């Protein structure tokens, strides 16, 4: 079945780095844009970044531009989020989601928790 599974979350100190992964299965990965969204504890949803099917087009939210890097490996059906210079306010559940090129986020992973604390 169509599935997205995130991994790589955990506890990291302020200023540290973490790399999240999202493994896709059950669909043609190269047909879709992919995106990352996060949700701080008790808060709403915040879009972070998306990457086009080929990886040629990438957008970031201002809150993570210059600190986070999105990438994908189409041969391995995988999406990544490299997070650097982490701050306490980056503490959140991080979701990956599938995005048809001209449509909304139709499939979401279960999320991975990132906690930034000393």
Partner 1 sequence: IVLTQSPGTLPLSPGDRATLSCRASQSVSSSYLAWYQQKPGQAPRLLIYGASSRATGIPDRFSGSGSGTDFTLTISRLEPEDFAVYYCQQYGSSPLTFGGGTKVENK
User: In the complex with partner 1, which residue's Cβ is closer, 80 or 105?
Assistant: 105
Which of 79, 109, 114, 116 touches partner 1 (CB under 8 A)?
Answer: 109
Distance separating alpha carbons of residues 105 and 107, to the nearest angstrom: 6
CB of 45 to partner 1, least distance (A): 4
Q: Please give the residues from 42 up to 101 whose contact with partner 1 meets the rule CB under 8 A.
A: 44-47, 50, 59, 61-62, 95, 99
CA–chain centroid gap for 52, Å, is 13
Exposure of 20 in the CB half-sphere (CA atoms within 13 A): 30
CB of 77 to partner 1, least distance (A): 19
| Cα dihedral 99, 105, 106, 108 sign | positive
Environment class of 37 (CB within 10 Å of its CB; exposed 0-12, middle 13-18, buried 19+): buried
Site map (CB under 8 A) of partner 1, residues 13-42, x = contact: ----------------------x-------
Which of 18, 80, 105, 116 touches partner 1 (CB under 8 A)?
Answer: 105
For partner 1 (CB under 8 A), the number of binding residues is 20
Cβ-based neighbours of 103, under 8 Å, separated by 6 or more: none
Q: Binding residues for partner 1, per CB under 8 A?
A: 35, 44-47, 50, 59, 61-62, 95, 99, 102-106, 108-111
């Amino acid at each position: 079945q169509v599935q997205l599974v995130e991994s790589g979350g955990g506890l990291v100190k302020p200023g540290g780095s973490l790399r999240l992964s999202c493994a896709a299965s059950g669909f043609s990965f190269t047909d879709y844009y992919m995106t990352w969204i996060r949700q701080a504890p008790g808060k709403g949803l915040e879009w972070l970044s998306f990457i086009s099917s080929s990886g040629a087009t990438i957008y970031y939210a201002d809150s993570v531009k210059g600190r986070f890097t999105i990438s994908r490996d189409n041969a391995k059906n995988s999406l990544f989020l490299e997070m650097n210079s982490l701050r306490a306010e980056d503490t959140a559940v991080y979701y990956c989601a599938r995005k048809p090129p001209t449509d909304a986020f139709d499939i979401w992973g279960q999320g991975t928790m990132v906690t930034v604390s000393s």
